[in-house]
Structure 1
Amino acid sequence: MIHLATPFEWKGLTLRNRVVMPPMCQLSAMGRDGKPNDWHFVHYVSRAIGGTGLIIIEMTDIEPDGRITDLDLGIWSDEHIPAFRRIVTEVKKHGAAVGIQIGHAGRKAEHVETPVSSSAIPFGPGFPPPRALSTSEVKDMVLKFREAARRAVEAGVDTIELHGAHGYLIHQFHSPLINRRDDEYGRDLARFGVEVIQSVKSVMPDDMPLLFRISAVEYADGGYDLDHAIELCRRYREAGVDMFHISSGGEAPLGRRRPGSHAGYQLPMARAVKQALDVPVIAVGNLDDPEVAESAVANGDADLVSVGRGMLRDPYWTLHALQALGAETRAPEPYKVAFRRVRSAMS
């Protein structure tokens, strides 16, 4: 039995295998309007043809100034819906499920004069100091997340992921290193994330799972550790999160503690969250080797595995990985002659 090749079901989400293409910014939105174009269409559809189980569209921002750069995607108006719908529709034709990561860069926005954050603390040396959002502005931001989720649902996605990792806005609120507020969003570090989750869930179908990406540890000096992340996940699960995507770091320049670079270096974090909260988890981090990805699922470290750089190098990573593991899977009819032991999708 090849575990990586087994289907996965959670609520209304059905995947043909356990491979996820994680969100990866393409810096390819032309005209700075935040709309996906032909590059994004080919980028995502080719990975669906390549056998991926779940494709998560890159971080898509809830307002223009919430982008990391002006070349990132956005979904701040209904005018964005048709371009996303075009991609979603075609991805599904090729057997993959599709999600979208919704987020806001906060103090990591590079192309705005004054970024916003939970507190007026810059990301690092040379970065502009952000402006702390007022309490009313925080509440407005929650509504912007809700409207972005509504548009994603209208575009036809199978799932939504909130970006609460890598030092972006939600992370900036739940990190005690970054959040120095004295209002309700400072006294309760999880409150902003909880309100975003509840607001987004209100416009999602009941059977659509909500994913949440979180940094399990911070690498800045004085940053939080796994126990803090698990408690955040507990609050977020109670608010409505159905699955967690476990990463780490990104909140500030590295301190004395450094992330690993070996294969599967974040798997212990994924396993810890899975065991503590009894929820499905997606693991990510140097899982390009098919044997490592297979063992992550077979050993119970994670339910799904994200393959990022490996899938940038090879749109057909999933078909190649399953073939290398000896699994029988379905290649597109025009490609079947190139894959030994791989059935045609038409057969």
Structure 2
Amino acid sequence: METKLFSPIQFDDVELKNRIVMSPMCMYSCDNQDGRVTPFHITHYESRAVGQVGLVMLEASAVQPNGRISYEDLGIWSDEHIDGLKHVTNRIHAHDAKAAIQLAHAGRKANLSDDTYAPSPIRFNDKLPMPKEMTLDDIQDTIQAFREAARRAKEANFDIIEIHGAHGYLINQFLSPLTNQRDDDYGGSLPNRMRFLNEILEAIQTTWNGPIFVRLSTAEYDENGNQLDDIVSIAETLKTQGVSLIDCSSGGVIPTKVPTYPGYQLPMAETIKHDATIATGAVGLITSGIQAEEILQNHRADLVFIGRQLLTNPYWPKQAADQLNTTITSPVQYERGWR
């Protein structure tokens, strides 16, 4: 049976063999607080490529040391990180999968003993420190850190970059009126709150010519925060800047309980896809091949990002294919078990 889930899709010059993406998930597995790839990372990401995931996306990788969520996060703030990351991409590519990396800065949600930074000096909760308000020099330094991170991603042979603009991390803090109370060119109106992300994109595009995805929190679960119409407007602007896809997540901007259920973020992905006429990725409690196929066949999104299910089962694509009564090419070594 022909399926949409296992059909290829093109983003610029990069073709994915199927629509399954390994969602970026922090592994908190770096040794010595140095942000370097470890043997665990190589095994972890290669095994999902062996399992026939079309796009394997590495976890949030910090563009500056003070932008880590924790000291155990992967880093891409130094040229010393390139060789380890290149080892990971080489192993992913060996199995006919593509490799992506999520470039990130935690902002006020960095759980570090170092100084933390944010657009405005507003604490996330009483467990995390009060952040320092970023100066214009701080903003420009961070923009250039994203540019240099993109250069390193290119040197490490990644196929796609995703910019992390969700979950209450630094870019999201600039985008949201809940966390951005600046009165300069980086605060106030939505275009001003977008300026930081816009300038990061422009800087990245001076050194990176591949597809760029952006992950957004498409719901902030607060009446005073960005609403879906605002997110559509953001997506429309990002499309004009050459962004290929919006990865549609939600929440994390402020401490609040998010009501979760299968497909709870799908309406946002569907609305953004059609209203902003940009490709979207669906993420959040997508657990079966049948569910993923329905999303794609009904044009609700263009890719499905699978998180916890791939932590449970690196061979989730095979499970999904079985559920859809179709066959996929197995690794040669596993043919006896995949017939």
Q: Give 1:88-127 correspondences, 5 Å limit.
A: 88-127=89-128
> Structure 1 residue 244: deviation in Å?
0.8
CA contact (8 A) 1:193 1:236 kept: no
Q: Partners of 1:126 and 1:39 in 2: how far apart? A: 29
- Residue 295 (structure 2) aligns with: 296
**Distance in 1 between residues matched to 2:81 and 2:323, nearest whole Å:** 39
Q: Paired residue for 1:195?
A: 199
Deviation at 1:225, TM superposition (A): 1.5
Amino acid in the other structure paired with 1:195: E
- Checking the alignment, whether the CA contact within 8 Å between 1:59 and 1:73 is kept in structure 2 is yes
Indicate conservation of the 8 Å contact 1:135/1:183, yes or no: no
Show the 5 A alignment for 1:264-283: 264-283=263-282
RMSD: 1.1
Residue matched to 1:333: 332
Change (3 A) 1:221 1:227: closer
- Tell me how far apart the structure 1 counterparts of residues 320 and 57 of structure 2 sit (CA, whole Å): 19
Residue in structure 1 matched with residue 307 of structure 2 by the alignment? 308
**1:285 corresponding residue in structure 2:** 284
Instruction: Determine helix, strand or coil for the equivalent of 1:163.
Output: strand
Find the aligned partners of 1:91 and 1:43 in 2 and give their Cα distance: 10
**CA distance in 2: counterparts of 1:323 and 1:13, whole angstroms:** 27
Contact between 1:55 and 1:98, CA under 8 Å: does it hold in 2?
yes
Alpha-carbon separation, structure 2, partners of 1:237 and 1:118: 24
- The gaps in structure 2 that reach 5 residues or longer are none
C-alpha contact 1:25 1:58 (8 A) present in aligned 2: yes
Q: CA deviation at 1:9?
A: 1.0
Distance 1:110 1:126 in 2: 9
Secondary structure at 1:288 match in 2:
coil
Q: Percent identity?
A: 39
Instruction: Please state whether the residue corresponding to 1:120 is helix, strand or coil.
Output: coil
Cα distance in structure 2, aligned partners of 1:312 and 1:290: 16
The one-letter code sitting in structure 1 at the alignment partner of 2:273 is K
Give TM-score scaled by structure 2 length: 0.96
Deviations 1:141-179 (A, max 9, x none): 100100000000000000100000000000010101100
Mapped to 2, the partners of 1:137 and 1:68 lie a distance apart of 18
Partner in structure 2 of residue 60 of structure 1: 61
Alignment deviations for residues 181-233 of structure 1 (CA, whole Å, 9 cap, x no partner):
1111114110000000111111112xx11100000010246222111111111
Q: Does 1:129 align with 2:133?
A: no
Tell me the CA shift for residue 243 of structure 1: 1.0
d(CA) in 2 for partners of 1:123, 1:233: 26
- TM-score, normalised to structure 1's length? 0.94
Q: 2:208 matched to 1:204? A: yes
Deviations 1:96-128 (A, max 9, x none): 101000010000000134310000001123321
Give the superposition deviation at 1:259. 3.1
User: Counterpart of 1:345?
Assistant: none
- AA aligned to 2:219 is V
Aligned to 1:185: 186
Q: Using the alignment, how far apart are the partners of 2:314 and 2:327 within structure 1?
A: 18
Letter of the structure 1 residue corresponding to residue 69 of structure 2:
I
Secondary structure at the residue paired with 2:296?
helix
The number of aligned residues is: 335
Amino acid at match of 2:93: K
For 1:268, give the aligned amino acid.
P
Secondary structure at 1:57 match in 2:
strand
- Please tell me whether the aligned partners of residues 190 and 235 of structure 1 are also in contact (alpha carbons under 8 angstroms): no
| Cα contact 1:201–1:210 (8 A) shared by 2 | no
Counterpart position of 1:240: 242
2:261 aligns with 262
Q: Do the aligned partners of 2:220 and 2:227 also contact (CA within 8 Å) in 1? A: yes
Residues 288 and 146 of structure 1: CA distance in aligned 2, closer, same or farther (over 3 Å): same
Q: 1:264-300: CA deviations, max 9, x gaps? A: 1111100111001211111101001221111111110
Equivalence for 1:344: none
Q: What residue identity is the alignment partner of 1:289?
A: S
Distance 1:177 1:201 in 2: 29
Question: Structure 2: which amino acid aligns with 1:63?
Answer: Q
Mapped contact 1:34–1:73 kept (Cα < 8 A): yes
> 1:246·1:281 contact (CA, 8 Å) conserved in 2?
yes
Kindly state the Cα deviation for residue 65 of structure 1 after the two structures are TM-superposed. 0.9
Structure 1: distance between partners of 2:113 and 2:173: 17
User: In structure 2, how many angstroms separate the alpha carbons of the residues matched to 1:288 and 1:191?
Assistant: 36
Counterparts of 2:173 and 2:241, CA distance in 1: 19
Name the SS for the 2:5 alignment partner.
helix
Match of 1:147 in 2: 148
